[in-house]
Amino acid sequence: MTIIANLLQVIQENILNAKLTTNRNQNVQLLAVSKTQSTEKIREAYIAGQISFGENYAQEAINKKSLLEDCNIDWHYIGPIQSNKTQLIAQHFSWVHTVSRLKIALRLANARPADLPPLNICIQVNSSNEPTKNGIQLQEVADLATEIVKLPTLKLRGLMTIPAPTQDIAKQHAQFKIIHDVFVNLQQQGFKIDTLSMGMSDDYVAAIQEGATIVRIGSAIFGTRPKLKQKV
């Protein structure tokens, strides 16, 4: 068994154990975050059974995608979105986790090719109340959700967050709980959403305990990331 295959198995066990400590019983999907990692490592994870991969840079992801055409990978876009990249993203990914402005949602909707299924969308929410962090403020989520569900080429799936990193487990829980509460509130308002994308290598256990359905894990699978320019 390769190192990556072994780490994937360890993480899947941790995910299962985290679920067992709650009574939520939600499905939890592992998204392997492969930004700046080589196509060899992605292929290794794919052969070990990993299907969904997350990338942060559109052009890098598309280059890799063309080298991995023989693999049936489900590509998720999880990076910041520049307006001039919306077309590439809408053409090449099945999910986008980082929508926080209507303007970007509209551009993605317009650029989504008609022969592809609707693009799955998560609204990125700022759970840390830090002005520098990406993501929409909590009180603005419902308005953006209302607009996104009107767009037939997009499918609103739920919320995503990247809380401020902290080793303080209680703080991790508090930040994830805020987003879970917003998620439940939207469901109660009638939005048909099923996805909470939260939790990374250092905090995914807390995220699952607070209801995450997708955890985005990079370094715990692939090791430390090479710098971007080094390797594509």
Where does this chain bind ligand PLP (CB under 6 A)?
A: 33, 35, 56, 78, 162, 200-202, 216-220
CB of 23 to ligand PLP, least distance (A): 26
Residue nearest to ligand PLP (CB): 218
Query: In this structure, are residues 77 and 87 in contact, taking their beta carbons and an 8 Å threshold?
Result: no
CB of 201 to ligand PLP, least distance (A): 3
Q: Which residues of 85-107 are buried (b: 16+ CB within 10 A; e: fewer)?
A: bbbebbebbebbbbbbebebbeb
Angle at 189 between CA 186 and CA 190, to 5 degrees: 95
- H or E element, residue 53: strand 52-55
Question: For ligand PLP, which is the closer residue by CB, 134 or 146?
Answer: 134
Question: For ligand PLP, which is the closer residue by CB, 77 or 183?
Answer: 77
Whole-angstrom Cα distance, residue 52 to residue 92? 14
Q: What is the DSSP letter of 36?
A: T
CB of 97 to ligand PLP, least distance (A): 7
As given in the structure block, the two tokens for residue 147 are 């607009």
CB of 200 to ligand PLP, least distance (A): 4
Question: For ligand PLP, which is the closer residue by CB, 180 or 203?
Answer: 203
Question: For ligand PLP, which is the closer residue by CB, 86 or 98?
Answer: 98
